[in-house]
Amino acid sequence: MKELFHDILKIEDVEGVMLFSFEGELVFKEFLSPLLDESGNKDLWGVFIDSLKGIREADLVFEKARLYARKTSSGYMMILMGVFAPIAMVRLNCDILLPSLKKTATTKGWRNFFKKKT
């Protein structure tokens, strides 16, 4: 799954990507800085994901950082970036990435459906 997010992580001032299920469980995370990779407060992410119900995308701007949340077919994708990150480039890459995420989610289910039983 890391190769799917490679183009987003290459964008200037993007710090990391996280993918959460609709229930708030962390599915994937990749940070460019080891200082950002903290596993604490997992319950808070679940509350935040729950509050996003019905939202297709959100761009939260803070004093020194920015968080872009995007709804996917399997959950929410969070992109952590600096204030000066080109948000248009991030959105474009997310638009390109979404069909690929849909394929990986549906392929796993169909693979088991057509699997030969011995």
Rounded mean pLDDT of 103-113?
54
Answer yes or no: is pLDDT of 37 > 80.
no
What confidence tier does 47 reach under pLDDT thresholds 50, 70, 90?
A: confident
- pLDDT tier for residue 79 given thresholds of 50, 70 and 90: very high
Q: Is the pLDDT of residue 110 over 60?
A: no
Q: 21: which residues sit within 8 A by CB, 6+ positions away?
A: 27, 49, 74, 75
Contact 27, 19 (CB under 8 A): yes
Q: pLDDT tens digits for 48-69?
A: 888 888 899 999 999 999 999 9
pLDDT at 104: 61
Among the four given CATH numbers 3.40.605.10, 3.30.9.10, 3.30.450.30, 3.40.190.10, the one describing domain 2-113 = 3.30.450.30
